[in-house]
Amino acid sequence: MNRENHNEAPTKYKMNEGKKREILTHLKQADNEVLHKKRNKIPLIPSLGVGFAALLIFILFASPIMDPLYDGESSQKDTTLSQMDQETTQVLEKMMTSKDVTISLFNENYKESEGLNQVTGMIDISVPSGLSNELKSLQSSFRVRVSNENISVMSDKYKGATIFNNESASGLLKFEINLTEEEATQLKEKNVDLSLYAYNDVEDTHTQPVAHSNLKTSKELEKLGERPDAIRDLFTSKKVQLNVKNLKLTKEGAQDKLTGMVSLTVPSSINADVKPSSLTYTVVLNGQESSSISKKYSGKSIFFRNQPEKAMIPFEVLFNGEDATHRIEGKAGLYLNIYKDENTPLWNSEESVRIKTLNLDNIYLDPLTSLRLAVVQEALETTDITIEDYVYMNSQTIIQNEKYKSLGILYVDLIKSQKKGDIKPYVYLDRSQTKGYIFEKKKNGKINIYQILLDKETDKWSISETIYAQK
């Protein structure tokens, strides 16, 4: 960890012009003496002594080690920036000031444990692809500073090559700043700032930064990472627009799968502490009895780079062997859950942001599901049977699951008795899974409804009654 005052430039040795002229005069005189003695055929050895004396004078006057301003660093580096240094400086200044670059702070936190005082966090630096390629090739580094009116503490240097090391046009900096007890105490006394500093070198700890960016101001060090209320207020306000489109219910093996596209629009004038692109999102289908949740989507991947106020979440929700149509018909709601990071929700599931209340009328259904619903609906319209508390059982689940072995045998026997053109039967069981109905539509249009019961003693299913639906 390095503590330093970044308002003072490190002292570098630079030879005084008068001293240079003095040394050159001594060397010229020494050369004249050698030439004069050589012409008078004086032995060369004494003249070498004169040259040695001149060399000694050069060392005494020119060596930076004898200069009282020498700072212990290598004096070989010229104070004038090399061409490469200048190029790096220009790129870093562009990175810190360009409107096309987004620098986002997230997961920032202050923690105390067993004498360790530490500020940690992550910084996402989204840049155009061309600038990203430049940053990958240059000798640059970055440091994070936590400071207030009392004190300033810097992190170690992080090499730009390790930050911009992926294929995307962005970099991710994970930082930590260790504090002593005294430093932590001083930082707690005043509002604290977090800032990012950029350097045009990698190793030297005494160089000045070439550019910097203020990341955040927090009233209290202990509350550095707190912001759920602000985010919740934002997402539940009318300022944020949430819509869903392209809803489809399809099959994936034995599972139903709901897919769609959630569009999210956040005004560009939001509070600076609220960074929607730094959060993590999931889409949840909440029913009366159970919920299904999508995978997690990082804000970094769903927000448009050229339109940072807009995001699109192409989600999918799988139903583990359940009848998705039954869940949706039960007035299920589609919600958005938001996480501070991959594992920390900002609020509990009961407070999720509602996107839409679903019904089958606004969802595209695959042809097989549409056919099933049409057959069952036709049968229910011509009988007094209700299946409000019944759940559709996928045929693969019935046949492959050992739990339904007896029902699977009954189902297969029924299929074997069918004729060409008959529609495959549909099985519905009640919640107790002790009774149910099988709907079978024949080629001639007639629908047979088989009431089935489970004998708990023998654990076998059988048909107790056949009902014929009449139009």
DSSP 68-115: TT--SS-TTS-SSPPHHHHHHHHHHHHHHH-TT-EEEEEEEEEEEETT
Could you read off the pLDDT of 322-368 as tens digits, one per residue? 677 777 766 678 888 888 777 777 766 556 777 888 777 778 888 88
Domain boundary assignment for the chain: 9-80, 83-223, 228-365, 367-469
Could you read off the pLDDT of 30-57 as tens digits, one per residue? 555 544 444 444 444 444 455 555 554 4
Least confident piece of the model among 145-159, 195-209, 342-356, 441-455? 342-356
* All residues at 6 or more sequence positions from 298 whose CB lies less than 8 Å from its CB, including other chains: 280, 281
CA distance 123 to 116: 22
Least confident piece of the model among 114-118, 181-185, 289-293, 427-431? 289-293
pTM for this entry = 0.47
Higher pLDDT, 84 or 288: 84
Phi–psi pair at 211, nearest 5 degrees: -165, 160
| Residue-level pLDDT at 330 | 61
* All residues at 6 or more sequence positions from 258 whose CB lies less than 8 Å from its CB, including other chains: 247, 248, 249, 285, 292, 316, 317, 319, 324, 328, 363
Model confidence at 134, pLDDT cuts 50, 70, 90, reads confident
C-alpha angle 183/189/193, rounded to 5°? 75
- The answer on pLDDT for 208 being more than 80 is yes
- The answer on pLDDT for 8 being more than 60 is no
* All residues at 6 or more sequence positions from 192 whose CB lies less than 8 Å from its CB, including other chains: 146, 147, 148, 217, 218, 220, 221, 224
Beta partners for 171?
125
Task: Provide the strand spans (E) within 294-352.
Answer: 297-298, 310-319, 333-339
Q: What percent of the chain has pLDDT over 90?
A: 17
Looking at residues 1-10, what average pLDDT do you find? 44
Best-predicted range by mean pLDDT (59-68, 249-258, 393-402):
393-402
Same fold, 83-223 and 228-365: yes
Q: Quick check: 64 and 77 in contact, CB under 8 A? A: no
**Domain 228-365, CATH among 2.60.40, 3.30.70, 3.40.50, 2.60.120:** 2.60.40
Higher pLDDT, 16 or 341: 341
Concatenate the DSSP letters of all residues of 191-202 into one string: -EEEEEEEES-S
Q: Give which of 122, 120, 88 is closest to 103, Cα–Cα.
A: 122
- The answer on pLDDT for 238 being more than 50 is yes
| Residue-level pLDDT at 1 | 52
CA distance 158 to 202: 8
CA distance 284 to 295: 9
| Residue-level pLDDT at 128 | 76
Higher pLDDT, 384 or 37: 384
Task: Report CA torsion sign: 295, 301, 302, 303.
Answer: positive
Could you read off the pLDDT of 446-468 as tens digits, one per residue? 999 999 999 988 999 999 988 88
Q: Quick check: 10 and 206 in contact, CB under 8 A? A: yes
- The answer on pLDDT for 67 being more than 50 is no
CA distance 471 to 122: 66
CA distance 133 to 122: 21
Looking at residues 68-90, what average pLDDT do you find? 55
Q: Quick check: 258 and 285 in contact, CB under 8 A? A: yes
Task: Report CA torsion sign: 186, 187, 193, 197.
Answer: positive
- The answer on pLDDT for 299 being more than 70 is yes
Model confidence at 28, pLDDT cuts 50, 70, 90, reads low
CA 24 to chain centre: 62
Looking at residues 49-76, what average pLDDT do you find? 45
Q: What percent of the chain has pLDDT over 70?
A: 72
| Residue-level pLDDT at 40 | 47
* All residues at 6 or more sequence positions from 382 whose CB lies less than 8 Å from its CB, including other chains: 447, 469, 470, 471
| Residue-level pLDDT at 326 | 74
CATH class given for the domain over 83-223: mainly beta
- The answer on pLDDT for 445 being more than 80 is yes
Average pLDDT in the chain:
76
- The answer on pLDDT for 24 being more than 60 is no
- The answer on pLDDT for 313 being more than 60 is yes
CA distance 339 to 142: 27
| Residue-level pLDDT at 442 | 92
Looking at residues 368-386, what average pLDDT do you find? 88
